Amino acid sequence: MIRKIIKIDIVPFEKKYFSQLVDFVKPMWSFSTWEDSFRKIYTELILQNSFFENNLTFQIALPKDKLCSAMFFQNKSDKNNIYKWIDENTKNLSKEKKQSINLCAEYLSYMDSKVHSLMNDDDIKLSLFVSCQKGYGSLIFKELINRLKNQNYKNVYLWTDCECNWQWYIKNNFTLIEEAIYPKFNDENKLFKTYIFKKQIV
Ligand SMILES: CC(C)(COP(=O)(O)OP(=O)(O)OC[C@H]1O[C@@H](n2cnc3c(N)ncnc32)[C@H](O)[C@@H]1OP(=O)(O)O)[C@@H](O)C(=O)NCCC(=O)NCCS
């Protein structure tokens, strides 16, 4: 039997993969009743909010441009201009859609600032973690934790919510720092839960 050996490289994130990320997370992070074009903008907002020009964004991709997983990090002091992105990308939206975008941006900024308030300068925030193929999540995480350790980071912090695979962090021995409810996103059937996790980098 001839076995094809594929070399797995963790490399800086290439922006050409943004559209694959959007397609992957769109079903989880936007409503199926919305127009597809709006779902894309809404999902991209969440992704853009987690992206920083800081050399701390990584990917695993296979030949033929197939994205397997991506991990973005943020130093406490890193800034991105998300409100500029919103201005540029939501000009033609209806008032109602703009309102949804603003509600989402308000939520992201509220959760981000909660996590920042817990961090010291030598801690790092995991701002995006996505794996489009089972197994590639642990693979990228284990390698990047080693790299962060070598860069003398002490703890990784992150926030997530009930629309994500937050259980992954429990399984992977992160400490749950806070479980809360974000009332503006509750609906009649379900409370919208948020989670803050921490892991010591050892
Ligand atoms: C969270 C997330 C990144 C985890 O990535 P992942 O690749 O699924 O994680 P793992 O590498 O740990 O693999 C998950 C499971 O698949 C199993 N697995 C690994 N390779 C496999 C394969 N080839 N076939 C089938 N199962 C496999 C692993 O053993 C593991 O099983 P376990 O849960 O029983 O331990 C992923 O679920 C995801 O992208 N979710 C959507 C976005 C999200 O919620 N992000 C995190 C919160 S913001």
Domain-embedded: residue 190: no
CB 136 within 8 A of CB 60: yes
Domain-embedded: residue 139: yes
**Rg for the chain, CA atoms, rounded:** 17
CA angle, 194 then 196 then 200, to 5° = 160
CB 130 within 8 A of CB 70: yes
User: Which residue ranges have their beta carbon within 6 Å of ligand 1?
Assistant: 129-131, 134-138, 160, 164-166, 168, 171
Q: Whose CA is nearest to atom 10 of ligand 1?
A: 135
Domain-embedded: residue 164: no
User: What pLDDT, on a 0 to 100 scale, did the predictor assign at position 99?
Assistant: 97
Confidence of residue 97 (pLDDT cuts 50, 70, 90): very high
Number of domains in the chain: 1
pLDDT mean across residues, the chain: 95
Domain membership of residue 116 as a residue range: 10-76+83-151
Mean pLDDT of the region 108-119:
98
Domain-embedded: residue 38: yes
User: What pLDDT, on a 0 to 100 scale, did the predictor assign at position 2?
Assistant: 62
Backbone angles phi, psi at 152, to 5 degrees: 70, 25
User: What pLDDT, on a 0 to 100 scale, did the predictor assign at position 53?
Assistant: 94
User: What pLDDT, on a 0 to 100 scale, did the predictor assign at position 5?
Assistant: 61
Domain-embedded: residue 54: yes
CB count in 10 Å sphere of residue 64? 5
Domain-embedded: residue 39: yes
Domain-embedded: residue 156: no
CB 12 within 8 A of CB 25: no
Q: Whose CA is nearest to atom 12 of ligand 1?
A: 138
Residue 134 Cα: closest atom of ligand 1: 7
How far does residue 94's CA lie from ligand 1's centre (Å)? 37
CB 177 within 8 A of CB 118: yes
Domain-embedded: residue 200: no
Alpha-helical runs (H) found in 94-184: 95-118, 136-150, 167-171
Q: Collapse the DSSP code of 201 into the 3-class scheme (helix H, G, I; strand E, B; otherwise coil) and give the result.
A: coil
| pTM recorded for the entire structure | 0.93
Residue 165 Cα: closest atom of ligand 1: 44
User: What pLDDT, on a 0 to 100 scale, did the predictor assign at position 6?
Assistant: 63
Mean pLDDT of the region 139-164:
97
Most ligand 1 atoms within 8 A of CB, residue of 134, 156, 163, 171 to mutate = 134
